[in-house]
Structure 1
Amino acid sequence: MRYTQPGKPMQNGYVERFNRFFREDILDAYYFNDIYQMREKVWEWTEDYNNNHPHSSMGNKSPRDFKPRFSKELKFFAESG
C-alpha cells in the first residue's frame, strides 16, 4: 500500500475529487440536528452518486445507464475466451 506524501493530495486524485463532491453536496449544504439526520442524507447521496450521477470514466453515463452495456461486453469476452 502506498501513502500519499504530505502536501501532495494529487497523488490520490480520485479520492480527493470524491471528498470534494461529498463536502460540497453534503457537509457544506446542510445543517444537521443529529447523527441520524446526517446518516439519512449521506445514504440518499450515496445512492444517487452510485446509481444516477454521470461519471466521466463511463462516458458521462450514470452507472445505471452504463451497466447494460458493460454486462454485454463481459458476456462477449466470457464467450470468446
Structure 2
Amino acid sequence: MHCNSSVPIVGISYIPPGTPWNNGYIESFDRRLRAECLNRNHWTSLLEARAVIGDFKDERNQRHRHSALGYLTPVEYATRCGHTHHPVASDIN
C-alpha cells in the first residue's frame, strides 16, 4: 500500500442540477448516509438526530473498513501512512 505524498489540486466546479454523475464521490457518500443512517432512524428531537448522526460519522471515520484503503480503517491507514497533511491556501473568498 502506498500513500500519495503529492498534494492534490482542489477547486470549485459547478455541477448542474440533475447531473449527479459528475460528482460520484459525494453521490456515493450521500447514498450511504441515507441508506445506513437517515432511513433507519426516526428522531424525536434535534439533539437525538445530532447524536445518532455523530455516531454514524465516528463509525465511518474511525472503525469502518474501507475498500479504497485496502480494507483498513481510516485510523489504521493514517498510522501506516508516513505522509503529513499540509493544508493548501485558497484565494477563493
The 2-side partners of 1:68 and 1:37 are apart by: 32
Partner amino acid, structure 2, of 1:4: I
Q: Determine whether 1:3 maps to 2:14.
A: yes
The 2-side partners of 1:20 and 1:40 are apart by: 20
Q: Determine whether 1:44 maps to 2:78.
A: no
The 1-side partners of 2:66 and 2:14 are apart by: 25
Identity of matched residues, %: 27
Q: Determine whether 1:57 maps to 2:63.
A: no
Tell me the CA shift for residue 5 of structure 1. Answer: 2.1
Q: Across the two proteins, how many residue pairs are aligned to each other? A: 73
Larger RCO: 1 or 2 (CA < 8 Å, sep 6+) = 2
Of Structure 1 and Structure 2, the greater helix share is in 1
Unaligned stretches of 5+ residues in structure 1: 76-81
Tell me the CA shift for residue 38 of structure 1. Answer: 0.4
When the two chains are superposed, the root-mean-square deviation of aligned CA atoms in Å is 1.5
TM-score, scaled to structure 2: 0.71
Question: What stretches of structure 1 move > 6 A for 4+ residues in a row?
Answer: none
